[in-house]
Chain A
Amino acid sequence: MRTAAHCSGIGLRPQHHAEFLERLPALGWVEVHSENFFARGGMQRDVLAHVCAQYPLSLHGVGLSIGSTDPLDRTHLAELARLERDFNPILVSEHLAWGSVDGRYMNDLLPLPYTTEALRHMAVRVGAVQDSLGRQILIENVSSYLQFNGSEMSEWEFLAALAAESGCAILLDVNNLYVNAVNHGFDPCEYLNSIPPRAVQEIHLAGHSVERLGTHELLVDTHAAPVCSAVWELYGAALERFGPVHTLIEWDAELPALDVLLTEARKIEHALRVCRADAA
């Protein structure tokens, strides 16, 4: 397995494939959405093979619907396992979410109620995925626009308990954390301080948008904007608690020029350097 020192990466999207392969920019690692490469042939797989020859790779899944109460999709899992075998990524991640019920998929990262029942369910399913892949996976916290009355614990308590029960690692999306803190009115530092430091093996940074609903505003995780200053600040606090961690810039909608992502990645690199210097 290729490894990378804790450093910055970008989420590589199809619109940037050609330019990225031509320039091979200085980056520590690259992450792709697993499902975009399930196809057995065609250009996408060739691109991934080229990328993988030059950079450590992370596979980030968005469709396994681990939190769903439908049976785990074994076909999807088999495709992920095949991709993992073929490309030997340094990290494999999925989400603290569900996206399907009764065979209908919403193809979204939907929030779970933070109940003991949901925690047991997630822990069993994360365990099944890890057993199937023969490796630890990372689970990412998602943005949410509602909370359920039935929740028995906070999101951070749920996430920490899931890591403890299933043995998974945590992919901490600092933007999602910030979005939820604003939308649901909690202290993001309390969240950070409740997550076991060694559990966090990757951090995501992204942009969000503001949606007005009547007289209220909600932050929506659109991945269509630069990382805002409040999220950069929270990222600094996360590095103080967790130390240097692989950190990724995610941008999916209204994708800007590749250079914009690379500039954001350089800001991450600077923050990681400061973190390493402080730790030394």
Chain B
Amino acid sequence: MRCECAVPTLRELQRRFAAAVFADDHGPVSADVRACGIDGRARLGIYRRQLQAAFARTLALEFPVIERLVGGEYFQQLAREFQAVHPSRSGNLHHIGAPFAAFLRQRFSGGPYDYFAHVAELEWAIDECSIAPAAPAFDLHALRSVDPAHYADLHFEFHPACRLISSRYPLLDIWRANQSGCTADKIIDLASGATRVLVQRSGEAIVFHALSAPEFAFLEKVSQDCSLGAALETAHGIDAAFDLGPALRRCVALHAVTAAKLPQISSHDAA
């Protein structure tokens, strides 16, 4: 049985359907849906609830500590607010969490829950490390082929399964106290110390390596594809006594870099 009203194109129908499930705007699509005893709005409501539930479920998998901090019910509300501003842009739901920390920063900035955005940054870093590709470890001996006069020009490739996270809050304490199975009530003083950490996938586990302020600044520049000279200068700006040798050896020992290159002198590339 067909309706005599004008039949929309497939594209127009999909746009009307999306308006109904994203914005609860059923006006345009209601004429396109057969009622058959159940109101079109009620039928579309199933899809709207599924849309919100799948999004919130995925977000909770990516940010379990935030969910635990705010509680399940409030997390659902946050997920709906977040989805309204940052809907999924891919058929692979895994990407939805990328702007969540920035969303929380805007939502809670300056208030007592300012630290949520910082925790979310840590959780997203963990998530990214978990799925990053493997990469070979860098061998310092490779630098033997580089003229020491060019060391300052070296650029290192940062390991894809590493992220650097800094915060004025004690993020690792918060993160550890909110792991599933952790039942001990613990009051964490948010002013108890800043965090500077290298997050890394090691085997099947995620590990954290605490870094000093100059070490962090040094590695941050390295991760941004700055030259070794520029990274060293930044570290010296924080601590004039910063020693490159031990810092570079630690960087390599932690597998934070995978290769070195001299961009303008390709014959001297080392890896």
Contacts and interface: CB of A to CB of B under 8 A. Distances in A.
Contacts of B2: 149-152
A35 B93 contact: yes
A224 to B, nearest CB: 12
B91 A147 contact: no
Contacts of B5: 149
B90 A63 contact: yes
B175 interface: no
Contacts of B218: none
B22 interface: yes
Interface string B43-55: 1111100110011
B92 interface: yes
A103 B3 contact: no
Contact of B18 (A39, A42, A44, A102): A102
Q: What's the interface size class on A, roughly?
A: 35 or more
Interface string A17-37: 000000000000000000100
A147 B34 contact: yes
A147 B36 contact: yes
Contacts of B88: 104-107
A150 B3 contact: yes
A136 interface: no
A63 to B, nearest CB: 3
Interface stretch (A113-121, A169-177, A235-243): A113-121
Interface stretch (B8-16, B110-118, B145-153): B8-16
B257 to A, nearest CB: 17
Contact of A42 (B21, B54, B87, B131): B131
B38 A216 contact: yes
B142 interface: no
B51 A106 contact: yes
Given A64-B91, A214-B38, A149 B3 contact: yes
**Max count, chain B CB within 10 A of own CB: residue among A107, A112, A218:** A107
Interface string B158-187: 001100000000000000000000000000
Given A106-B88, A152-B2, 16 more contacts: A38-B94, A42-B130, A68-B14, A69-B10, A79-B92, A102-B18, A104-B88, A107-B55, A107-B91, A108-B47, A112-B10, A115-B7, A150-B2, A214-B42, A216-B38, A220-B46
Interface of A: 35, 38-44, 62-65, 68-69, 73, 76, 79, 98-108, 110, 112-113, 115, 117-118, 121, 145-152, 184-185, 211, 213-214, 216, 218, 220
13 contacts: A38-B94, A63-B91, A101-B11, A102-B15, A104-B88, A105-B87, A105-B91, A107-B51, A115-B7, A115-B10, A150-B32, A152-B2, A214-B39
Interface of B: 2-3, 5, 7-11, 13-15, 17-18, 21-22, 31-34, 36-40, 42-47, 50-51, 54-55, 87-94, 130-134, 160-161, 201, 204
- Cβ-closest 3 pairs across A and B: A63-B91, A39-B131, A40-B133
